[in-house]
Structure formats: structure tokens, C-alpha cells
Amino acid sequence: MNRHRDIKLHISIHKGLSTPPLKKCKKCCHPAKFHCPFCLPSSFEPTNYFRARHHLDKHLRKSIHLQGYTVHRCRLECRNHPHYHCVYCTETRMRKHDLNKHVLRCLQERDPQSSQLPVHTKGSASPAKDDIRSCAIVSP
């Protein structure tokens, strides 16, 4: 078992630089529309594929790229405000900068030998492949 991964990843966290595939709603929308997987319908009204894809691209631009994961901004019921989820614990932070600091502290608490690891957000240099350390995802 990997010492860094002992919780299930939140839906807003994806391995690599990615977003989840869009799926037509079969529960509440007639005719079927596409929901944003990171937003409540009150934050982003279900729509056609192209508008939903454009919306997901915005999530990707505002995401945080760290430790081999993409952390998208979450607008689900976890909190009353848009936020980001930690990759290593159940904590959330509303600002990118605060999540970056938290992840470094969280990692050092779990592995005191870890040094400051690179965290990349929009506008920073792209991470080199060797800069990102990825962890295995634990199955539910």
C-alpha cells in the first residue's frame, strides 16, 4: 500500500492533466442534457455538449496541477463556496495559493523526508515529467 494514498479521490481530482468525459443525463433532463461533474445545476445549468465542454475547459484552465494530478475547482455541496480538494486528505481550500501551501504541509506530515515538491498552477512554468511524482490511486 502506498503511504500517500489512503483516501478515495474526490470527483474534482483527476490523474494527469485531464477532465472526466461528459455523459448525457438520464435522470432529470428531458431531453437529455449534459451536467458539469464539478458544479451543481444551480451553478451551471445543464446544456448541450459543446457548451458543457467549453465550461469544462474553463475548469481545466483554473485547475491546479500537482503531484501528477489535476485538481479542478469544485462547486458541489461540499462547501458553500467554490473550493479545491486536497489530493492527500479530506481538507478543502478556497484559494489556489492556500491549497498549494496545505498540500506541502500535508505531504510533509505524511512523509517527513519529502522535500518541497513542485506545484504548478496556470501561469507558472509547465512541469517537467521528472518534476511530478505520482502516487497510485487506491481503489474504493
Q: Is 4 within a domain?
A: no
Q: Is 5 within a domain?
A: no
Where in the sequence is the domain holding 83, given as residue range(s)? 13-131
Q: Is 1 within a domain?
A: no
Q: Is 83 within a domain?
A: yes
Q: How many domains does one find in the chain?
A: 1
Q: Is 136 within a domain?
A: no
Task: Give the pLDDT confidence of 19-45 residue by residue, as tens digits.
Answer: 889 999 988 888 889 999 999 999 999
**pTM of the full predicted structure?**
0.73
All three cell numbers of 99, joined, read: 491549497
- The three-state secondary structure class of 73 is coil
In this structure, of 16-30, 57-71, 75-89, 121-135, the range with the lowest mean pLDDT score is 121-135
DSSP string of 5-68, one letter each residue: --SPPPTTEEESS--PPP-B-SSS-SS--B--TTB-TTTS--B-HHHHHHHHHHHHHT-EEETT
Q: Is 102 within a domain?
A: yes
Cβ atoms of residues 73 and 11 within 8 Å: no
Task: Give the pLDDT confidence of 76-95 residue by residue, as tens digits.
Answer: 999 999 999 999 899 999 99
CA 72 – CA 103 distance, rounded (Å): 15
